[in-house]
Amino acid sequence: MSGYSQISFETRMDSVEFRVGESAHITVDDTLCRDCSVRGCITACPANLFVPTSDGGIVFNYEQCFECGACSLACNTEGAIDWSYPEGGHGVVFHKT
Amino acid sequence: MIPGESPRPEGSPRPDPLQRADAAGSEVDAIVVGAGPAGSAAALELARNGHSVVLLERGPFPGSKNMYGGVIYGRILDTLVPKWWEEAPIQRWVTRRQTMMLSGDQALTIDYRSDRWGDPPYNGATAYRPDFDQWLADKAAEAGARVVCSTTATGLIHEGEQVVGVTTDRPGGELRAKVVIACDGANSFLAREAGLYENLDPANFTVGVKETIALPSEVIDARFGVRGDHGVDIEILGCTGGVPGGGFVYTNRDTVSVGLVLSLPELAKGDKRPEQLLHQMKQHAGIAPLVEGGEVREYSAHMIPEGGYEAMPELIGNGLLVAGDAASMCLAAGVWLEGVNFAIGSGAAAGRATHRAIQRGDTSAEGLEGYRTRLESSFVLSDHRKLREIPHLVMGDLAQTRLPGMACGVAEQFFHVDNPAPKPGLRRIIRSEMKTNGVRFRDLIRESVKAIRGFG
């Protein structure tokens, strides 16, 4: 990512407060992702939470989610991404936005 | 959580205002889900009319989940909070409004300024949404609404056809009401659950990303040519690296906000990520001098329902109303990018319609029909109906790349002095730039007619 950005993606995300909850509010059934040729989630997620693996799957994490919902709308494979809001009081907390 | 109370410390048991709300053994009049501008306006109207209302917010405080692309137009607040400008947490008053078209290394800007917009009652303002939304939610609380934060509404409770409350993620957190007003944002799980959205087309959504960049206020004043609490809002076309969308730059007191709005399906197709495109825009000679040297204070992202009138859900169900982003009420019509005002306008209308319905004792969809009438007679639906073609026009290829290219090309040839060659005629310049940018005469006419008709 550093070839494109003045600041690293980590530095960018470090500027955001996340009150991470214990349970994941995103789940991915990556057996479905293996047959997906589009994989829209990878570029659409502004937090870059979806990362393709060398064996054709997708790994994700939920901790630094902006809760925008783009992944589940962009996903064209029914049931592959299950996304909801995190538990009340958790997740992203904006300040100067 | 009582308004003004600090977020609960980690690990401590949650106070249970839901229990208290139910303590009388009866339901409340209304539950408003989401303490953004739509929800707070609805709750404010209801509380002022003497109703018991619970305003649920899933974030630790109102506004904590919210970001936007920059300007709050306050006229709709005049009736809700008289002289709101004396107390609202405003960053700067927009006295300078620019539309910028970028192409290659070129930039052509239309620049309007009026210091009158810097005096009461003002026109547009920039603000941090966590500050602004909390302020408006506090207004609702002062009027008697019970603001309950850190609580996610997880679903609707039905009795037959009628919505009679919501479930929440609090233990035993069922809450009943005569009317539920869903102001739960762009993803409105409640409107979806109620079946009010016929189809959710990703093409009606954009992803917004934004950097808030810290710079001393004197530097901002000098770079943007403003003083004191005056500020600038710039809308930008041709800055999204081929992904349909647009960009924006606007000033806060001691930060500058720079962002992009990108078509969701096109972003999902491409090989470019949002922050890469944002970085590209920031490198452009038209933008770089405005933001360089500043430190990124906060990065943020959100989804924007940009489809306008055609993309709106059914707004009314039995015991259920939908307002603000939850009802796709963001106006993304090229030169106009508005949302907070539409949220406040629709939320207030929902509050008033609910008040009347409860008074008359009919909170069925029919009894709540006054919501639609109110929206239709206000800017909320009349603007959206009038401008319903514009979102597609703006996201089309002509407006996205060819028009900025042609406009910059015409400006370049027009202002470039090529002595000893004589000046080319304007007609010849336009013709050659149309050709260069692949703009056919009939397309230009067709799109212009659409634009003229579309803008009313």
| Both structure tokens of A61 | 């994490």
Q: Which residue has the higher pLDDT, A4 or A38?
A: A38
Instruction: Give B-chain residues touching A9 at CB under 8 angstroms.
Output: 275
**DSSP reduced 3-state for A94:** coil
**B245-251 and B316-317 beta bridge pairing:** unpaired
Domains of chain B: 17-66+128-198+313-377 (3.50.50.60), 72-126+203-305 (3.30.9.90), 391-454 (no CATH)
Instruction: Give A-chain residues touching B275 at CB under 8 angstroms.
Output: 1, 4-5, 9, 12, 46
**Cα nearest neighbour of B66 on chain A:** A94
Using 50, 70 and 90 to split pLDDT, how confident is the model at A78?
confident
Using 50, 70 and 90 to split pLDDT, how confident is the model at A20?
very high
Closest-CA distance, A1 to chain B, in angstroms, reads 8
Residues in chain B, pLDDT under 50: 1-15, 21-25
* In-domain check, residue A93: no
* In-domain check, residue A79: yes
Give the model's pLDDT for residue B17: 54
Give the model's pLDDT for residue A7: 86
pLDDT tens digits for range B128-144: 999 999 999 999 999 99
B205 touches A at CB < 8 Å: yes
Give the model's pLDDT for residue B226: 98
B200 touches A at CB < 8 Å: yes
Closest-CA distance, A29 to chain B, in angstroms, reads 19
Q: How many domains does chain A have?
A: 1
* In-domain check, residue A51: yes
Contact A87 B8 (CB under 8 A): no
Using 50, 70 and 90 to split pLDDT, how confident is the model at A56?
confident
Give the model's pLDDT for residue A35: 87
Give the model's pLDDT for residue B443: 86
Contact B128 A97 (CB under 8 A): yes
Give the residue numbers spanning the domain of A51.
9-86
Instruction: Give A-chain residues touching B268 at CB under 8 angstroms.
Output: 38, 40-41, 43-44, 70, 74
**Cα nearest neighbour of A21 on chain B:** B10
Instruction: Give A-chain residues touching B186 at CB under 8 angstroms.
Output: 68-69
CATH code of A21's domain: 3.30.70.20
Give the model's pLDDT for residue B19: 53
Give the model's pLDDT for residue A45: 97
* In-domain check, residue A4: no
Determine if the pTM surpasses 0.90: yes
* In-domain check, residue A94: no
* In-domain check, residue A64: yes
Q: Tell which B residues from 296 to 315 touch A, by Cβ distance under 8 Å.
A: 296-303
* In-domain check, residue A2: no
pLDDT tens digits for range A29-45: 988 998 888 899 999 99
CA–chain centroid gap for B180, Å, is: 22
Radius of gyration of chain B (CA): 23
ipTM confidence score: 0.94
* In-domain check, residue A57: yes
